[in-house]
Structure 1
Amino acid sequence: MSQRLRDTFARARQEGRTLFVGYVTAGYPTPAETVPILLAMQEGGSDIIELGVPFTDPLADGATIQHANQVALQQGVTLARCFDFIRDARQHGLTVPVLLMGYYNPILARGEARACAEAAAAGADGWIVVDMPPEEAGSFLQACRANDLSFVPLIAPTTRDERIPLIAAAADAFIYCVSVTGTTGKGNVALEELPPFIERIRARTSLPLAVGFGITTREQARAVRRIADAAVVGSAIITAIDAAEVDRRVQRVREFVEDVSGQ
């Protein structure tokens, strides 16, 4: 398990606050801006950062992140480049936990053990692998644990009660709760349906819970953080980048994260 993640959640509990998790696709809008954007997210108030690993077929993601993936891939961003971004950001002062978020194929292509060893050496704290169910993650979990990396599984509203303990057993830091069925970034988080969903999970695990998919505004993030341990915002950050002038994109990320992460 990542010590940085453990300390981040422990510190938040001591301070009586909930966390903000920001997502950005590695290499978007350009590779040269990725490290400055990561630092801007930290400066703006991201307690944890998800760095999206570009993939050709990101089925769980909506149009905004799909486009970001395509742009990054066209600029030659690979899993190895993602490690480089994290290493460079650490050297420039990034201290918050970083989770690599994406799909299994790039990990498989590189080799589970090699990918985990390289991720840890670069300064990553773990993985969120959208298309890897815990039942099939045995060897990957071993590789994560051998390198002190956390594996963050996902639980959806459609997850059966009896599967929740199985999923929780694969986690060691927190669980990613998918707020809606469907893809990311539609701004359609069903706030009225979240309390019973979160209660159903809390009845079966004591791990911290982060909620993502569909959160786009400060008000939504604040509502989520009243019932969960963390709120995750991704597509809205990409949208903020797209809306900014080229020479203000990094600054706009910091400003947007500062606004939406405010408690």
Structure 2
Amino acid sequence: MDPRTSTDYLDYLAARLGEFLNAFDQFMTYHVENAGPGAFARGLAPAVLLREETDAGRVRAITGELNRLAGTLMDLSSVTDVRMLVQGSGVIDPFVNWERITDPKPVLEAATVRGCCLQAAGRLEGLRARAAALSSPTIQPSLLHPLVWSAAQRLWNDGHLRHAVSAAAEAVSGQMKQLTRRNDAPDTSLWQQAFAKDTPQIGKARLRWPGDQADQDVKTMQDGLRQFASGANMVIRNPATHDDETLLEQAALERLATLSVLAHFVDQCEVDNVDGDA
């Protein structure tokens, strides 16, 4: 995955960069920049010099924290394209190599490091806005049909994804059985009979897509539901119930979403009984 398209990772980099910049500003309160008209051996001496009577232990602690944060920013330069081209040294990552401002013959200066941080922060903001605009919609399990998620939730949260799918499928089949008042055949057959186009019989109610049953669109929905419902039972419920194969989260979520669609369709159907068999 391209890190430039992950809003979570861009947010992570932005947060660590903010911490890095705060720590760098603290570091600089214990130093003076070796720049300007009064610079000492500019280009030979370090770019920053320790102030007199500075707490050396505190400086070491801040330096350690900056190095830790620099490690978390190992991808920042490549993600934002913020880097420095230094003659004789090539391309320099100003975040990972920030401490070189303390070296003799430094290749970076404090103002350069801080400026790169600000530029990277702005680029991260722009990248995040673009990533958010281009992001694909996601499925939230809690927004699936209540029948599906209530059956799956506990097992899902415990990490038993295949069993969660099986439980959800059983719940949707139970919805159909309750409406048709049938439990006298395998589920696949019951789904096919529930949406069959022929007239109901005593003890064999049908589920009808609402509308004029002579209308072609209604006929298409009715036959589609007959195939969809029985097919979902065969390819989702049966493997989840009888196979031991581990389901990955995405695959399990897609199955729950399919069952949710089926449950919503069943909600919209009308029960067709033989008169007196209600």
TM-score range, shorter chain: under 0.3
> Larger relative contact order (C-alpha < 8 A, sep ≥ 6)?
1
TM-score (norm. length: structure 2):
0.20
Greater helix fraction, Structure 1 or Structure 2: 2
- Largest Rg, 1 or 2: 2
Greater strand fraction, Structure 1 or Structure 2: 1
